[in-house]
Every structure is written in structure tokens, then in C-alpha cells.
Amino acid sequence: MLSEQERREIEAHARHYPNNRAVCIEALKIVQQHRGWVSNEGIADVAEALQMKPAELESVATFYNMIFRKQVGKHVILLCDSVSCWIMGYERLREHLGDRLGIRPGQTTADGRFTLLPNVCLGACDHAPVMMVDDMHYQDLDPPRIDEILASYRQEEKSSDGNAADS
């Protein structure tokens, strides 16, 4: 079942569209925001609320890159693998991130802290290579900068006040 909060947020967006179905992508994003990912239960909950067939909603959910149908870590690292970042040496960063985290793209660390995903162009090509961690963009990356960023997320979890990472 959708939580009250999820239901309220979906209803607020539904007002922007002439029918219920149109809000389904927003609804999936809302469920993902609250639950971390969209499980089969999440699909069933949204489908029921919007009076859609679960299979129909599943076909939408699996189409979009940012709807996670598998569990992801606490932080999702999206490393741009498109052409400008490739020219500027993103492959070296992919290796570096993989070594530091002990995972390959598409995997989650054993402690559930980080998921590493390749991602298409993030629209900051003049500052390539770039990546996102959750909602934050990081630009002009090199291995030492990657280490700093990873450390800041590990630090953030240790400190009780949870200082936000820099941009």
C-alpha cells in the first residue's frame, strides 16, 4: 500500500494532468524517493492507485533509465560515459572508482553504501569528466578528486549531523 505521504505527493502532481495515467512516471519517482527503489510491491501499489495493470506500469518503469527496478545502495554514483567525457579520459576514472569501491559498473558495494552506474551525457561537457552522486554534480574529475568525494560521503555517514557534500 502507498503511504499517506506517497499518496499525497502523487495526488498533488496528478492535478497537472487531465488523467490519472499521465502521472504514473512521477508516481514511480515518488515511490523510489521514499523506498530507495521500485520493487514489485512498489509497482503493484502504484498500479492499484492509478487503476493501471501492473504489467502496463512495468513496461513504463523499465523504459526509463532512472527508475531502479533493482535495489541500489545508499548513494548512487552516475559516471558519465558519453563522448566528451570519453575523450577526456573517463575510462581511467571508471577503473579508479572500481578499484576504490571493489565493484564494477552495475554493482553495489557489499556494505550497501554505493552503487556505481554508467550514465549518458550529464550536460557539463566543458568540465568533463563529470559524474553525479545522488543529486550532486561533480566536474573536472581526476583520481585524487574522486578519492576526496568518496571520503566526504563516508565521513558524512559517520558524523551525526550529516554535513552535505560540497559541489
Partner 1 sequence: METPLTHNISPGREPPDLAQYEKAGGYAGLRKALGMSPAEVQAAVKESNLRGRGGAGFPTAQKWSFVPMGDDAPRPKYLVCNADEMEPGTFKDRMLLEGDPHQLIEGIIISAYAIQADVAYVFLRWAYKLAARRMEGAIAEACRHGYLGKNILGSAYSLEMHLHVSAGRYMCGEETALLNALEGKRANPRAKPPYPQVSGLWGKPTIVNNVETLCNIPHILNQGAEWFKSLSRSDDGGTKLYGVSGRVKNPGIWELPMGTSIREILEEHARGMCDGYQFRGLLPGGASTDFVTAEHLDLAMDFDSMKKADSRLGTGTMIVLDDKTCPVGMLLNLEHFFAQESCGWCTPCWSGLSWIEQILQDMEEGRGRASDLELLESHTRLLGPGHTFCALAPGAAEPLQSGLKYFRDDFERHIHEKRCPWSQT
Cell (9 digits) for 58 = 512495468
Q: Pattern of binders to partner 1 over 5-44, x per CB under 8 A? A: -----------xxxx-xxxxxx-xx---------------
Q: How far is the CB of 9 from partner 1 (least distance, A)?
A: 13
Q: Which is nearest to 149 in space by CA: 161, 162, 137?
A: 137
| Nearer to partner 1 among residue 68 and residue 114 (C-beta) | 68
Helix (H, G, I), strand (E, B) or coil at 72: coil
Calpha distance 61→137 (Å, rounded) = 24
Calpha distance 67→37 (Å, rounded) = 7
In the window 82-111, what residues touch partner 1 (CB under 8 A)? 82-84, 86-88
Residue 21 CB neighbours (<10 A): 16
Calpha distance 32→118 (Å, rounded) = 19
| Nearer to partner 1 among residue 58 and residue 156 (C-beta) | 58
Calpha distance 110→103 (Å, rounded) = 9
Q: According to the binding rule CB under 8 A, does residue 125 interact with partner 1?
A: yes
For partner 1, which stretch binds (CB under 8 A), given 1-9, 100-108, 128-136, 144-152? 128-136
In the window 59-78, what residues touch partner 1 (CB under 8 A)? 59-60, 63-67, 78
Q: Which residues bind partner 1 (CB under 8 A)?
A: 16-19, 21-26, 28-29, 59-60, 63-67, 78, 81-84, 86-88, 119-128, 132, 135, 137
